[in-house]
Amino acid sequence: MKKQWQLLQPDINSVRKISNELKCNPIIASILINRNIVSVENAFDFLNPSLNNLRSPFSIKGMDTAVSRIYSAIINNEKILIFGDYDVDGITATTILLEFFRYIGANVSYYIPHRIKEGYGLQKNHIMDYALQKGINLIITVDCGSGSYDAVKAAQDIGIDVIITDHHRISDKPPHAFAVVNPKRSDCTSGLDNLAGVGVAFYLLICLRKYLRDNNFWDTLPEPNLKNLCDLVALGTIADMVPLVDENRILVNAGFEKIYTGERNGMKALIEECKLKGSSTDTNDIAFKLAPRLNAPGRIDHAKIAVELLTTQRLDVARQIAQTLNKLNIQRQVIEKKLTDNILLYLNENPHLLEKKTLVLSNQGWHEGILGITASRLVKKFFRPVVLISTKDSIGKGSARSIPGFDLYDGLMNCSSDLENFGGHAMAAGLKIKNKNLNLFQENFEKIANKQTINLAPVIRIDYELNFDDISDTLIDDLEALKPFGSGNDEPLFTAKNIKVLSSKIVGKNHRSMLLKQNSSSKGKSFNTIHFNIDKSKPLNDRFEKIAFRLRWNHWNGTKKAQIIIEET
C-alpha cells in the first residue's frame, strides 16, 4: 500500500516565539505547533501538566443532579449498583467508583454483562431479572447507557433511579434517566468531549467528594486523595484511545506517577506478568501489553475477573489472577489469528471486495469478542472502514473500525434503518442487525462512503526534517517532556535523507538492527537503529534515500544510548 509522506510546515514566527518565550529547542516548538498548540500559555501548560489545570467537572450537564441523588442514596443506605462495560475503560470506571463507595461505607455492588451472552450496555432484562430481584434502588452506569432507552424506562416504571455516566455519542433525546452525565450531550457546553468513560466517572467522584465535604461528611472519615485512583484513569483512558490532550493528558500524566510507585497490587502483578518494569512503563506498554490482557476476559470469558485483579488487596491473589489473564490473552491471540487468516484468505480469493471504499464482511460462528480487534488489524492493512459481523440464528452482532476522515458513527446513523441498534464513536462502533438486512446494509454503507472524499492512502505526517548532526542527548531528553504519547499526541516523527547502512543484522524473527550514518553529516555521527517487522524476502538495502523515524533512549543494563526506530523507508 502506497503511503503519502507529508512534511508539516509550522509557522516560523510562531516557532520562534514559543522557542524564545519558553527557552525550548525550536524543534520542540515546531512539534507543539504541529499539534495545534500555538500559544505560549498553552505550550507551557502542555509541557507542565498539572491537576490544577483541570476544567471544572461541575460544568458537565447533569452533574449536580447526579451528585445530589447519589448523596441521598449514601445517607439513606440505599442499594447502589454500578453497571459497567466489559472493556478496559468500563472495567477501570467500575473499579474507581467501587473503591470510593466501599471506602465511604455505601451499600454498593457492581455488575458487568457477559459480552457474548448478554451483549453491550444496560438492557431491560438487567432491570427485571437482576436489579429488581436484588432490591436495587439506584443504578449508576459507567462507559455505557446513552442508548439504553428501554432499560431506563423499565427501571423508572418500578421505582429504580438510573444515573448514566458515559462518553459515547448520544442522540439529541437522551434516555429519560434521573441524570445523564455525558459530555457529548448536545446541550453540554463543558468542552470535555474527549474524556473516556473512566474520565467521566472520575469527574463524578471529584464532584461527589466536594458535595460530601460541603455536607460535613468528612468530619468523621479522612477525605480520600483521588489522585490515588489516577493509575486506573490512565489505564482506561489510554486503552480507549481517546485523544491524549487537555484533561486526558493531565490525568494520564498523574496516573503514571501512581503506576511508578507500584502501590496497587493488581497493577504491580500485571506489570510483572508482562515482564515490564513499573518505573519505566509507558503508554505503549499499556496499549499493547497491559490493556490486551485486561480486555481478554471480557472477550472470551467474563470481565469481572479484571475487576477482581484491580481491587484485590493481596499480592499473591493478584499474581494468580494476572497469570489467568495472560493465559486468556494467549487464547485470544490464537482465536484472533485464525479469524484474521481466514478473512485474508477469503479476500485473496475475492479481490474485487477491496475495490470498494468499505469492507463489510459477515460469517456465521465468528467469535463476537474478537471482531473489534480483528477489524482494527484489517483497517491497518487495507486502510478503509471495516465492519465485521458474526451471524447467529436471525441476528448478527458486529464491530466496526474506521480511518481518519470517515466518521463511523455518522455513517451508521445514515444506515440506521438497516440496523436494530448501534453505538460508539467516530473511529469505533458496535451494531446489531437482522441477517436479512446484511446485503442492504453493505450496499448503503458503501454508498455513504462514496458520497464522501475519503483518502484510502495512509498519510505519514512528519514533524521535522532532522539531520543526524542535530541529534543530541539534550534533544532526546526534551522529547521525553512531550510524553505521554498516544492518540491525539503522537510520538514525534522525523525524516532524514541520504542514509548509509554501516552494518546490519536480523534480530528476532523479522527485525533488522543497523548502524546508520548520514552521508551529508559533517560530524560523522552514527546511530544504532531498529526496523521492526521487515519483509525478509526483499533484499536488504545498504542505503536509504530517506527514512521516517522516531528517536528514543534505549535503556540497557543501567545505561542509555540514543536509538533510531525506523517507521517508513
pLDDT along the chain (569 residues), means of 10: 90 96 96 95 94 95 98 98 97 98 98 93 96 98 96 97 96 93 96 97 98 97 97 96 94 94 94 87 93 96 97 97 97 96 97 96 94 96 96 93 93 95 91 96 96 86 96 95 92 97 91 94 91 87 94 86 94
How far apart, in whole angstroms, are the C-alpha atoms of residue 495 and residue 480? Answer: 18
Residue 355's Cβ-count burial label (10 Å; 0-12, 13-18, 19+) is: exposed
Q: Comparing C-alpha atoms, which of 510, 513, 540 is closest to residue 527?
A: 513
Q: Comparing C-alpha atoms, which of 5, 132, 2 is closest to residue 547?
A: 5
How far apart, in whole angstroms, are the C-alpha atoms of residue 360 and residue 443? Answer: 9
Residue 388's Cβ-count burial label (10 Å; 0-12, 13-18, 19+) is: buried
How far apart, in whole angstroms, are the C-alpha atoms of residue 569 and residue 532? Answer: 12
Alpha helices in 136-245 (DSSP H): 149-157, 197-214, 230-239
| CB 432, CB 409: distance < 8 Å | no
Question: Which pLDDT belongs to residue 393?
Answer: 86
Q: Strand 494-507 and strand 543-556: pairing? A: antiparallel
| Cell 546490519, residue located | 504
**Taking the CA of residue 176 as centre, how many other CA atoms within 13 Å lie in the half-sphere pointing to its CB?**
6
Q: Strand 559-568 and strand 526-531: pairing? A: parallel
Q: Comparing C-alpha atoms, which of 404, 393, 84 is closest to residue 241?
A: 404
Question: Which pLDDT belongs to residue 155?
Answer: 98
| Cell 510562531, residue located | 14
Question: Which pLDDT belongs to residue 520?
Answer: 87
Q: How is residue 439 written as a grid cell? A: 446485503
How far apart, in whole angstroms, are the C-alpha atoms of residue 420 and residue 435? Answer: 11
How far apart, in whole angstroms, are the C-alpha atoms of residue 193 and residue 200? Answer: 10
Q: Strand 428-434 and strand 395-401: pairing? A: antiparallel
DSSP 538: S
Q: How is residue 471 written as a grid cell? A: 541529534
Question: Which pLDDT belongs to residue 521?
Answer: 83
Question: Which pLDDT belongs to residue 537?
Answer: 81
What is the pTM assigned to this prediction? 0.93
Question: Which pLDDT belongs to residue 513?
Answer: 95
Q: What is the DSSP string of 275-337?
A: T--GGG--HHHIIIIIHHHHHHHHHHS-THHHHHHHH-S-HHHHHHHHHHHHHHHHHHHHHHH
Q: How is residue 37 written as a grid cell? A: 498548540
How far apart, in whole angstroms, are the C-alpha atoms of residue 251 and residue 535? Answer: 39
